[in-house]
Structures are given as structure tokens and as C-alpha cells.
Structure 1
Amino acid sequence: MGDLSRMTCFSLNTLWRRAVLLVCLLAAAPAWSADILLTAAEDSAGVQDFTQALARQRPEDTVTFTVLDDLPAPSRLPATTRLILLDLPSLDWRLRDAQGPPTLVLRISRLQAQQRLGATQHPRISLLWSDPPLARQLRLIAGILPQARRIGVLYGADSEFLLTELRQHATPLGLQIVPQRWDNINDSRPLQTLFRKSDVLLGLDDPQLYNPKTAKNLLLSSYAQQLPLVGPNAGFVRAGSLASTYSDQADWLAVLDRLLDHPPANWPRSLYPEHFKIVGNPQVARSLGLEQVDETSVATRLAEGEKRP
């Protein structure tokens, strides 16, 4: 009987220790993990770098990249997958199927979405915008060019829909939007007309208007008129515009990390990155007789303004 009692006590102690160990392991493990699938039409060093950065940021999840051609139809993917699209061909593929897993479309412009979706919204797709928010660009102008009141805006057939939103954001800032349609990029007369009526130009992220073919004419004309151009993106600032807001890879990873921590049912239908930076062109500022843009200070002020109700 004594041996039996000791064996019983030993077994109970062993079971207790195992139960305690199991509880500790469960407490240490993440509450849940996700299968995160990234896709694009082509693989590249940049795509791999982004995928690896996301995997390092979310070690509890399974993060993989698969070339678009190697994927089945969206409806044949597991419903628990979190799908991240990195280019427009992958979005076109996703839009062909009403079913499929919850999807985040990374770095798509407002204009690209308008061309593909119009006013409709796919119930399982969330769009993460690549172009700078119009309100943020206008507040950038107000911050670095406080005397500017007339905001000249070139637009085309594809970007005309943005004008209403621009006006809505401009009015509370005491700014006036001066629009000018530019249908023929080989005709400079609309530019000259707009220059005469504006204090500064705000570039929209419309590749029909702002591209390598138009850059020289736009920038030389703005220099000749001593009229600064803000935007449309960080790349154009390097080419010769004055400044712009932008979000880099670290900012996008922060957005994804936050969204992936929430159930897809809570994902917004569209979203701008909360975090952003300012890029300025010191040479352009000097040539226009303007003070160099303090990128860090201006970004901080804009961010603080966005946090206030």
C-alpha cells in the first residue's frame, strides 16, 4: 500500500508539473497567428526585401511571397489567408473573383483605384493609398509658403474627380483652388494661363500630366515664373519640385503591422499611412529665393496637427 501511495503521489505530481508547463507554454504563445501571403506579377529584390522585413516584424505569423502566375483563383485560397497585393496586375486578378480571402492592396493611387473600381467597393478588399493625402499636401503648402493663397492645380480627364475633395480641404485653410485642365501636354498655353493666376502649383499624382516627358517643361516653366511646385510625389521633388509629403517602406510596414493585429472585418475600406515624412529640394528653394524646408520640423508640425481633433 505504501508503494502504491508513493506511485500515486508521483503520478499526480508529474501530471501537475505537466499541466503547469502547458499553461506556461500557452501563456507564452501568441493568441493567434496568421498565414500572410504576398503576391505580385514579378519577383524582385525589392519585393523580397519587403517580404523579409514584414516577416521579421511579425515572427509569430507565416509570411510568404508567391508569384501571381503560381497562384490559383482567389476563391481557391484558404479563407484564413491574409492576402497582400503589391502591384496592379495582382489587383486585376483579385477583382475577377468576388470570393477569396480578405485582401490588402498596398501602394495604389487614388487615380488607379478610380480607373479600376470607380465608386464601387469590393467587400473583401482594403486599399492602402500611395499618393500623398490632398489635405496633407495643402497643409504642407500652408506651412512652408504661408503667403500663398491661390493654389494652381493642373488636372486631366482622369484626375478631375479629385478637385471636389481638394476644394473641401482648401476652404478651412483659407486657400483657393485654381484648376486648369491640361489635355495636350505638348501645348504650354494652359501652363502659362495657370501660372498667371496662381501663387504656387500643387501637383496631383496623375502620370498623364507628371511624367518624365513633361517634367522638363513643367519645372523650367515654374523656375522662369518663380512659381514653386509642391508634389506630386517624392520622385518629382528629386527631379526639381520644391517639396512633398511621402511614406516610405517603414511607414507602410507600420500600417500593415497595425492592420494585421485586427480581424479583417475591422479593416477600413481605404487608408492613408498615418506615419509620413517630408522631402525638400534645397537647390530649388535657393533658386526660388525661398527658405530651405526643414523636413523634420515641418513633418512634426503636420503630424501634430493631424492628431488634434
Structure 2
Amino acid sequence: MDKPVSELPRFVRCWKICCSLIFLLSLPLLAYGADDLRVLVVLSESLTPYQTFAKTFRQNLPSNILVSVLEHPEEFSVNDQQADLIVTVGVKATDLMMDKAAPVLAVMIPSTMYLDLQIKQTRVKQISAIYIDQPLSRQVALLSAALPESRRVGVLYSEGSRIDLKELHNELDRQGYKLIAKKMQGSETLSSDLDDVLEHSDVLLAIPDSNIFNSSYIRNILLSSYRQHIPLVGLSQAYVNAGALCAIFSTPEQLAAQASAEVLLFAQSRHLPGPQPPALFTIAVNREVARTLDITIKSPDSLHMQIENRGGVKR
């Protein structure tokens, strides 16, 4: 299936927002001549998204903030202990840095992991996070913008899922939707459980539940939804490329811009802000899927603007 066409106006607008934010935050740092800050960026793996984050993060910071990158967290050394702040990228890196002395800003982690971080840490220190998942209000806003006539939202979840069904139900109800949720009894019942959800739904919403939405099952999930003419709203560009109708997510560049802005604030106050969702986001649409399902959907740029107007960038 064709990849969604890049939306230049949306990219330019987001990039200007990032640049303006970083420029404004850097003014007080330069004006007051803060001491050099040593930041260690620890990547979970040497994968392209993590590398992209590290490159953009470094480019967004002034020269008096000294950035080093550790691609393999298990290789943390005595020299790395001199960092004033550790920025972890991904779950693995975050897990391995919790016992280090320096404050930790965890990026690209699920929001459900943050409470675990506070429990896990063996030192009394500052920790904060920029989540990888979008706020529920923003996800529901995408449903409203992309599929205004689809009022029944199907969700399939597993025993190990950490989704807050009550919060999701309340957010859907607030925006005029009905939640159709079903717990998968086991991998052997995935097909029948999914069919049951789809039978009573207008749209299927993917959630960050790796027991269900993984590379082994996603093809069958998409085929089942096609058979019942039910669109899937995914979690990333990869979902849209695979056959989801649309998705809302934040790119590594957007998360890096937000993280670098927080580091500039930390350089001034030596204090990390509270955990937060992504401030900037991207919309992707698969038009071939829309044609197949006979769905009229707006452009990613129009959807993005509509969500922003509904307060989709609020923290």
C-alpha cells in the first residue's frame, strides 16, 4: 500500500514551533551565563529512530551544553557518571539508568511506565519523562476529526494490558462516543474475540498492548477489520503503512525538540518538570485504505489543524 504523502505545510509549521520554543528558552540561559551542563544521552539500541532523536537533540542545544551519546546502555562507565543529567531514550535505557546518581529525563517511554520508575529507583533523585504515547483526549479528537460518523469505538485488550479503561470510557463519553471493549481470553481466542468486537463497532482503536498489537498478529487483525468494513486507527506511521486508516503519533524529531527545551530549563533551575505527553504530534493517513473502505477522510494537515483547534496540543 502507498505511504502517506508528506505534508510540507504541517512540517514547516511544527518546525517553526520547535525553533521558536528553543530560541525563547535559550535566551535566559545565554543571558545569565549558566555553567556548562554535561548531558549524557543513553539510547536503548542503535536503531534509526533513536539515532535520529540523538542527532536532533544535540543540534537543538547551545555549545555550553555538552552532549555525549551512549549507544549501548550496558556499557555505562565511570566517565559517564560525571554527567549532570541523563536523558534516556526508550524503555531499555531507562531501566538500566534508574540506579545511577544523576537526574534522569526519560523519553520515548509509555506513560504507564512512569509510576514504575518512581518505585524502581534505588536513589532519591529527580526523574521525569516525556511519554511516547498520545493523551487519550488527543486520540479521541483524531477519531472525531477523521471519522465523525463512527460513534462506536472497539477496543480489544489482554490480561497484561495497562490501559485505563475507565479513563478511556470517560473521554469517549465526553466526546460523544461509546466504548465497545472486550478482554482477549488467550492467543487462541484472538480471532473470535476480535470478530465479536468488530461486530459491534464502527472503528477499531489500536492500543499499546503488545500481547495483541504486535508483528505476529497485526496482519490478521487488519484482514479481519477489512472483512467487516471496519477501519483501524493505529499508533504510528508503521501501522498506517501496514494498512491502518490513520494514526496520531510524535516523531523522534518532535520529541527531541521537546526534550532539548526541557534541558534548557534544567540548565537554569537544575530542576526537572513533571512528566508530560508529547507537545507536538503528526497525523498520517492511508488514502488507499480509505478508498477500499469507501471512507472520505481529510488531509493530514486539515486533521492536524482541527485537533489543534480542539485543544489537541494541551498537556
TM-score with structure 1 setting the length? 0.80
For 2:183, the equivalent position in structure 1 comes to 181
The answer to whether the Cα contact below 8 Å between 1:185 and 1:214 also exists between their aligned partners in 2 is: no
**Equivalent residue of 2:193, what SS?**
helix
Alignment of 1:57 with 2:56, yes or no, is no
For 1:146, the equivalent position in structure 2 comes to 148
Identical aligned pairs, as a percentage?
Answer: 26
Query: Number of residues paired by the alignment?
Result: 278
The structure 2 residue matched to 1:219, chosen from 197, 222, 229, is: 222
For 2:301, the equivalent position in structure 1 comes to 296
The structure 1 residue matched to 2:164, chosen from 150, 162, 165, is: 162
Q: Deviations over 1:108-133 (max 9, x none)?
A: 1235x17x818848552212211232
**For 2:299 and 2:46, how far apart are their aligned partners in 1?**
37
Q: Which runs of 5+ in 1 are unaligned?
A: 1-25
For 2:104, the equivalent position in structure 1 comes to 103
**Equivalent residue of 2:154, what SS?**
strand
- The 1:129/1:49 distance shift into structure 2, 3 A limit, reads closer
1:100 Cα deviation from its structure 2 partner: 1.3
**For 1:43 and 1:217, how far apart are their aligned partners in 2?**
30
The structure 2 residue matched to 1:206, chosen from 194, 209, 226, is: 209
1:26-105 aligned at under 5 Å gives the runs: 30-43=33-46, 47-60=50-63, 61-66=65-70, 67-72=72-77, 77-78=81-82, 81-95=84-98, 97=99, 100-105=101-106
The answer to whether the Cα contact below 8 Å between 2:241 and 2:286 also exists between their aligned partners in 1 is: yes
Structure 2: which amino acid aligns with 1:166?
L
Alignment of 1:238 with 2:241, yes or no, is yes
**For 2:47 and 2:245, how far apart are their aligned partners in 1?**
31
Structure 2: which amino acid aligns with 1:117?
D
1:308 Cα deviation from its structure 2 partner: 7.6
- The 1:268/1:186 distance shift into structure 2, 3 A limit, reads farther
Alignment of 1:275 with 2:280, yes or no, is yes
The structure 2 residue matched to 1:247, chosen from 228, 238, 250, is: 250
1:268 Cα deviation from its structure 2 partner: 3.4
Which stretch of the first structure deviates more once superposed, 33-42 or 57-66? 33-42
**For 1:265 and 1:145, how far apart are their aligned partners in 2?**
44
Query: Post-superposition, which runs of at least 4 consecutive aligned residues in structure 1 deviate over 6 A?
Result: 26-29
CA RMSD of superposed structures (Å):
2.8
The answer to whether the Cα contact below 8 Å between 1:83 and 1:104 also exists between their aligned partners in 2 is: yes
Alignment of 1:285 with 2:286, yes or no, is no
| Structure with max Cα Rg | 1
Name the structure, 1 or 2, with higher relative contact order (CA <8 Å, separation 6+): 2
Q: Which runs of 5+ in 2 are unaligned?
A: 1-28
Q: Deviations over 1:6-27 (max 9, x none)?
A: xxxxxxxxxxxxxxxxxxxx98
The answer to whether the Cα contact below 8 Å between 2:53 and 2:253 also exists between their aligned partners in 1 is: no
**For 2:86 and 2:314, how far apart are their aligned partners in 1?**
33
**For 2:134 and 2:149, how far apart are their aligned partners in 1?**
22
**For 2:214 and 2:280, how far apart are their aligned partners in 1?**
26
The answer to whether the Cα contact below 8 Å between 1:51 and 1:64 also exists between their aligned partners in 2 is: no
